[in-house]
Structure 1
Amino acid sequence: MAEQVFSHPELWQQLLALVLASAVVMGSPGPATISVTAVGAAFGLRGSLRYASGILLGTVAVLLVVATGITAMLTSVPTLTPLLAVASAAYILYLAFKIATAPP
C-alpha cells in the first residue's frame, strides 16, 4: 500500500500545494490569530503556545481528513452525510453546554 502512495509524485505535489496554501491562510489575520493574541495577553507566552499548538493540531487534523478523501467517501455513501451532520451538531451542543456551565 505504501509503495502505491509513494509512487505517485503528483499526489505529493498536490498535498504540498495544499499545505503551503493552508500555511498562508493560517498566517492571515482571522479568528484563530486574534484568539491566540488574546490568550497570550491574558495568560502569557506559555499559555498562548499551548493554545496555538491546539489550533495547529486541529487544523492539521482537518486538512488530513480532507486530503484523505472524506468528501469522496461521503458522496459514495450518501447515508453517512446525515449521520455526520447529527454527530457534528451534537458535538457543537456539547461544547456549548460545557462553555455555558464553566465557572467564570
Structure 2
Amino acid sequence: MAATYRDRLRQIALSEAGIRVADFAPDAAHQHMDVRHIDGKALALARLAALIAIGGADPSFGEHADAAVSAGASADEIVDVLVGVRTIVGEPRVVAAAPQIALALGYDLDGAFG
C-alpha cells in the first residue's frame, strides 16, 4: 500500500524516510526521488523559491535556474517565482537573488544599468 501524505510527513519529521542529501540534488538522476505528486517543473520552481528564501550561494542560482528551464519552466515563470516569494522572504532576498537569476537566464543586469 502506498504511503499517505500523513505517513510521509511522519517519516520526514522523524527522519525515517530514507531521505538523503543526494535525493535533493538538481541533477536528473535525483530530480524526482521520493517526490510523487508534483511534476519536475513545479519541483524545480519550488527548489528555486527555497534557494531565494535561504539566500543561497551565487553558483546555486545558475544550477537551479538551469534545472527549472530543463524541466520546462520559462524565464517568465522563474521571474514569477521571485515576485511570488517577495512578500514572504522579504525584498532584500529577492533583490539579492535577481541578478543571479538574471545571469542564469542569460541577461546581464549590470549591462542593463550601465
TM-score normalised to structure 1 length: 0.22
Higher relative contact order (CA 8 A, sep 6+): 2
> Rg larger in 1 or in 2?
1
Q: TM-score, normalised by structure 2?
A: 0.21
